[in-house]
Structures are given as C-alpha cells and as structure tokens.
Copies of this chain bind each other. A is one copy, B any other.
Amino acid sequence: MITVAIAEDHQALIDGIQSYVRYEEDIKIIGHANNGEELLKIVRLKQPKVVLCDIRMPKLDGIEATKIILKELPYTKIVAFTMFDQDEAVKQMLGAGAHGYILKNSSLDVVLEAIRVVATGKTFYDRKLHLPNTQKNSSKSVLSSREREILQLIAKGRTSHQISEELFIGKSTVDTHRKNMIRKLGLSGAGELLRYAVEKKYEF
C-alpha cells in the first residue's frame, strides 16, 4: 500500500484526485493540505510514503517544503505537481530533491503512474516536460537562448537601449534580436512582442 499526502492550493483538485483514486487498491490518500505549513504537520504526523506537492502554495512554497521534509524524513518520496513548465521551477524543485515532476495539464493517470514509480525508488518526469536536459532543448526552441534572455528583459518593460546597457551590447544588436523574434513568432510590432513576453512567462 502506498500512502500519499497531497499539498495543493486548489481544494477542487484535491477533491478530484481523491475521487479518482478512491478505487485504486494500492494507493491510499492519508491526508491533504492547502498550504506548505499544513503539509509539514501532516507529513510529520502520518509519515506518508509519497508526497504530491504543488510549487505555488500559501505560507510555504513547495520548494521549501520539499527541503524541510527531506531533511526530517529522507525516505519520503516527493512528486512536484504543478502548472509550471519553466526552467527555473523545475531546476529548483529538483535541486530541493524532488523525485518526480508532473504537470497539471497532464491526466490523472500520469499522477497515479508517478506515485507508483517514485514509490519504488525510481524517478518520474512528465513526458510533456521539456527541460531537464537544458542543453538540447535550448536548440529545439524557436528562439535562441540569447533571444530568450532578451525577451525576459523585454517582459519587464525595458527598451532596447536599456537592455543593451544591461547586457553590454549595442542597441542595434538588441534591435536586431527584437526584429528576429518578431519575425520568428509571427508578431507585428514591439507591443505584441512585449505582450507575448509577459504572457509566456507563465507558460500558457
């Protein structure tokens, strides 16, 4: 029997998972929390084999919670369950010691699979995830890494001139990158690119 605790901001999703798991004979959900602090209490008390854990949570986020849990109870297996498919989020969560990483836009079957896999001591990464191998993926993306770097700054509302100063390159260079990105992405104008940049930060 695999005992599981869920930490998840959205009660609706917890309810859904519980309903879905109810008739699985090998998995039992022994507790759930809506924030990181609650999760810690539950884990200390009930010592689940697997923790399913959102990254964005009130009070204590999933990354910090993971570190604390693994320090206190190193045999706990932790699966990150989140909407973020971003370099930083994945990197930090894995850095904290998570054993699996699945995305909320995957089906609940993937969740069950992940729980079963990490329970055996193996790791599990969502097939939709495209960035643990940071090297290869950067080349597959439409935008080059330099372009993405510049896009990050554009997303903050910076102008080409400001960006050129931050990156120690010429304004014209930033302009060129900007132009290329607009072309690659099929956009028209600086405004649309900025909009794209801000929205894509959260990986729609």
Contact = CB atoms under 8 A, between A and B. Distances in A.
Nearest to A22: B19
A104 interface: yes
Contact of A107 (B15, B17, B154): B15
Nearest to A158: B191
Interface size class of A (residues with CB under 8 A): 35 or more
Contacts of A108: 11-12, 15-16, 19
Contacts of A19: 16, 19-20, 108
Interface in A74-114: 81, 83, 104-111
Contact of A105 (B11, B17, B189): B11
A38 interface: no
In the A-B complex, the 6 residue pairs with the closest CB atoms:
A16-B16, A157-B191, A157-B192, A10-B104, A15-B108, A157-B195
Interface of A: 9-13, 15-17, 19-20, 34, 56-58, 81, 83, 104-111, 154-159, 187, 189, 191-196, 198-199, 202, 204
Contacts of A11: 104-108
A156 B15 CA distance: 36
A66 B187 CA distance: 25
Contacts of A110: 12
A196 B111 CA distance: 32
A126 B20 CA distance: 24
Contacts of A195: 155-157, 194, 198
Contact of A198 (B10, B187, B198): B198
Contacts of A194: 157, 191, 194-195, 198
Contacts of A156: 191-192, 195
A105 B157 CA distance: 28
